[in-house]
Structures are given as structure tokens and as C-alpha cells.
Amino acid sequence: MDLFKRFARNQPPQTQPPPEQPPSINQYYLTSTPSPQNAIDILKGEWSSKFPAPLDTLTAGTVGLFDDFRLNWFVAELGGLQGKRILELGPLEGGHSYMLEQNGAASVVAIEANTHAYLKCLIAKELLGMQRVRFLCGDFLAYLKDPACPRFDIGVASGVLYHMVNPAELISLLAKSCQTHLLIWTHYYDPAWTEAKSLQSKFPSTQAANYAGFAHTLVRQNYDDALHWTGFCGGSQPYSHWMLRDDIIRCLEYFGFPTVKINFEDPNHPNGPAFTLLASRT
């Protein structure tokens, strides 16, 4: 018998470690009294919004999206939303959806692609008793491209345009589906801001673009480390394209919204220059 076999015979038998057990399903059960906080804590640490009264003492986020001054301005400009059919893109946690219903909208269809954000919308809908809001889980671009896409009076796209790979396409699709007004809040690209913040690496390239005859400039924006935050609420790709300020206005005019009112412009917003746009057919 060779030395290797003699050595192997003298070794203790090798034992395999026991298979790792999956976590017990019991961790998903609660033993406390039912409460709104229990529902919010299903996605603890992911919330951005502060809930409105009487739920304003709950621990969620801190941003006032359930009482947003931008949406209040929009409603005042239109003289209310009574009887309006509204399409909302990227509702996040249902704050604007709630405000649209509270201000008289006949119906709100709100489309959310982020599955955790969608679940937060459903939690908010239950806690606040929304009756005329329907949340859909999926890609709003696919929804808008569907020939069966219904028509709406108003489109609301707050915080979504700068998350698009092709933002001009989104404006074009909204123009086909929304008959009277659009509300858009968005960041835009300003090279002076980028240079002042030393963020050139976040915006690494610029390219000429043309969509349906509309010539414009696109600037690539990389999400980088933000993709690893559980509360991330950006686009579905690891990058997006930002537009220049004047290109956004020209794009709205090109696709059928010639009247554009601007408010709450903040060229020094910490996340990039931003403004609120009310675009109208007339």
C-alpha cells in the first residue's frame, strides 16, 4: 500500500456541514396590535414621504409630498380638478395621488415600475382611504405605447423626466394621451452647476439627439452608488439622460403644448437645477 493510501486510511471520516436552513416564516408575523405603523414598517427605512394629518405622527419619511406646494400651485392655476381624468407617472408613495383625489379629480391612474414603491402606494391608499385612485404596477412607457392606452385630461409627471433614457419620447407619448395640461417637475442639465459641484464624472458624456424630428441635446447621468440604496426611486436603467433647460420647453411646444408656465425654479438645487412646468394646449 502506498503512503497516500495509508495516510488516507488513518484520517477521520469527512462530514458535510448540515444544509443551511432558510429563515423561519414566523419572522414575517406580528404579535402587536394592528396599527398604521405596522403597515409602514413592512418597508421600514425606505420611505421618503411624511404622512398627512391625522397620520403625521407616524414614523415614515420627512418630505412633504402629501402636501406639496408645487401641486397646490398647479391646482390653483387650473381652478381645481373637478371631474378631471388624470394620469400620474411615478407616484412613488402616493402623496400626489392623494392630493389629486383630495382636490376633486374624478379618477387617477398612477403607474409605478418600482415594486417596493408600488407596495408603499398600496399601503398609503389603505391608510388614507383613497377611493378614486388606481395604482398600476409596471412600466409607464409600455402603458403609453399600447394602442389601447386610454385618454386623459391631465398628465402629472413629477420627478420622472430626468430618469428617462429618452426623455423626449416620454413628452411625446404624454402629448398623445393627455388632452389639456401637463404638470412636470424635473431636473435639467446646466454645465456651470456640474462644474461648481465637481460632478463631471456623474455626467460623463453629451450627445446630439433627434426624436420624431425634434433635435436636442442629451447628457448622460450615472446613478452610481445610489443604486445600492433600498429606497432608490430612480429609473430602471443604471443611467439616464438629462435635457437642457430650454430643450425641455421647446420639446413641450414641439409636441403640442405651446403655453408653458414656469414656477419654483431652483438653479442651485442640491441634486441639480430644477423647475416646475405647467404646459397647456392653449
Question: Please, how many CA atoms are within 13 Å of residue 110, restricted to the half-sphere of its CB?
Answer: 31
Neighbours of 183 (CB within 10 A): 25
Q: Are 187 and 272 in contact (CB under 8 A)?
A: yes
Domain ranges in the chain? 69-280
Q: Are 166 and 211 in contact (CB under 8 A)?
A: yes
pLDDT of amino acid 190: 97
Q: Is the dihedral of CA 41, 44, 46, 48 positive or negative?
A: positive
> How far apart are the C-alpha atoms of 101 and 97, rounded to whole Å?
6
> How far apart are the C-alpha atoms of 103 and 83, rounded to whole Å?
10
Q: Are 70 and 41 in contact (CB under 8 A)?
A: no
What is the three-class DSSP state of 111? strand
pLDDT of amino acid 225: 64
Q: What is the mean pLDDT of each run of 10 residues along the chain (282 residues)?
A: 49 67 86 97 96 97 97 98 98 98 98 96 98 98 97 97 98 98 98 93 96 98 70 71 98 98 96 97 92
pTM above 0.85, yes or no: yes
In words, the CATH class of domain 69-280 is alpha beta
pLDDT of amino acid 3: 46
Tell the residue number behind the cell numbers 431652483, with chain if given: 266
Q: Are 206 and 219 in contact (CB under 8 A)?
A: yes
Tell the residue number behind the cell numbers 389601447, with chain if given: 148
pLDDT of amino acid 279: 98
| β pairing state of 274-280 and 178-187 | antiparallel
| β pairing state of 178-187 and 152-158 | parallel
pLDDT of amino acid 228: 54
pLDDT of amino acid 226: 60
